[in-house]
């Protein structure tokens, strides 16, 4: 759990201890925060729910805590519902709308995710260039022109990020084709994360699939954990999708999802990608 979460949640705790109800609210929420901090998300959700059900007035902190707990428990629909309620209580809070956009994305609601992220940009105009999450939601919502523009803007604040270049490629490829996307690939000189430069070379046409896999394997063998393999399979899956090779795309995305990193937003992207594509195939 992030330090920001703790500061945000504690700041919203009832300040007045002048009557028993306020004291009980504070105790429940303090205990919920402590449970979440210790890794007991189920207990945190239970305590937050107890406060919500017992309180005559909605308490933003309780909904915030329960949303975090439900996310840890992979109850993505419940977390999104809590953050929607919280956004109703705090409509002008950019941080809450940012969390709501992420929660809706995890729950597969792309239109809702885009709307929440756009609300963040409306509240804090300077933040738009930083909202790479918006670009990803736009991609899955089918707003390819919007996501291409977003990643072009993100380049101004993050010029050496292969992931930004690749997502821009994907947005362009979806409307103008693979060759046009390759011709317009945003250049990257250095990205120290393995296997990002191999991924960049692949999308640019100067490298191959095996180069990506071998770089990830070397990093994993030398103590790099599963992160390099996860990113290798995620971006190979997206590469094959851009090429229209559904079977290979599906296989690599599945391998990315298997390397679970639930606290990593990009792992959630892999998971949601698989679910959206499976849903689309089932609807045909």
**Phi-psi category of 35—alpha, beta or left, where left has phi over 0 and alpha has psi -120 to 50?**
alpha
pTM for the structure as a whole:
0.91
Residue 18 predicted with pLDDT over 70? no
Integer Cα distance of 213 and 196 in angstroms: 11
Are the C-beta atoms of 117 and 101 separated by less than 8 Å? yes
Contacts of 137 (CB under 8 A, 6+ apart): 101, 105, 110, 113, 114, 117
User: pLDDT per residue over 166-193, tens digit each?
Assistant: 999 999 999 999 999 999 999 999 999 9
Residue 9 predicted with pLDDT over 50? no
Tokens of 58: 């909605």
User: pLDDT per residue over 115-155, tens digit each?
Assistant: 999 999 999 999 999 999 999 999 999 999 999 999 999 99
Q: Where are the alpha helices (DSSP H) in the chain?
A: 3-11, 20-37, 41-54, 60-72, 76-89, 94-106, 110-123, 132-141, 144-154, 162-176, 178-183, 196-204, 209-219, 227-243, 246-258, 265-283
How would you write 163-212 as a 3-class SS string? Answer: HHHHHHHHHHHHHHCHHHHHHCCCCCCCCCCCCHHHHHHHHHCCCCHHHH
| pLDDT confidence of residue 36 | 94
Distance between alpha carbon 118 and the CA centroid of its chain, in Å? Answer: 15
Tokens of 127: 């933040």
For the chain, the structural domain boundaries read: 1-73, 192-284
Confidence class for position 242, pLDDT limits 50, 70, 90: very high
Confidence class for position 3, pLDDT limits 50, 70, 90: very low
């Amino acid at each position: 759990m992030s330090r920001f979460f703790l500061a945000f949640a504690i700041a919203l705790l009832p300040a007045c201890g002048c009557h028993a109800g306020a004291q009980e609210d504070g105790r429940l929420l303090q205990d919920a925060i402590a449970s979440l901090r210790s890794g007991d998300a189920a207990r945190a959700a239970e305590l937050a729910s107890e406060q919500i059900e017992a309180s005559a007035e909605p308490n933003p902190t309780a909904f915030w805590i329960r949303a975090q707990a439900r996310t840890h428990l992979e109850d993505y629909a419940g977390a999104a519902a809590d953050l929607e309620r919280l956004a109703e209580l705090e409509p002008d809070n950019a941080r809450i709308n940012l969390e709501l956009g992420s929660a809706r994305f995890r729950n597969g609601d792309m239109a809702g995710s885009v709307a929440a992220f756009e609300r963040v940009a409306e509240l804090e105009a300077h933040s738009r260039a930083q909202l790479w999450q918006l670009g990803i939601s736009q991609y899955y919502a089918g707003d390819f022109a919007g996501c291409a523009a977003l990643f072009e803007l993100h380049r101004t604040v993050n010029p050496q990020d292969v992931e930004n270049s690749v997502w821009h490629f994907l947005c362009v490829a979806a409307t103008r084709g693979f060759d046009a996307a390759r011709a317009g690939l945003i250049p990257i000189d250095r990205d120290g994360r393995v296997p990002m430069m191999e991924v960049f070379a692949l999308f640019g046409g100067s490298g191959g699939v095996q180069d990506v896999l071998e770089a990830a394997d070397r990093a994993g063998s030398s103590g790099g954990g599963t992160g390099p393999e996860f990113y290798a399979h995620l971006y190979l899956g997206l590469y094959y999708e851009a090429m229209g090779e559904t079977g290979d795309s599906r296989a690599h995305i599945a391998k990315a999802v298997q390397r679970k990193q639930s606290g990593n937003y990009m792992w959630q992207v892999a998971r949601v990608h698989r679910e959206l594509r499976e849903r689309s195939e089932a609807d045909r």
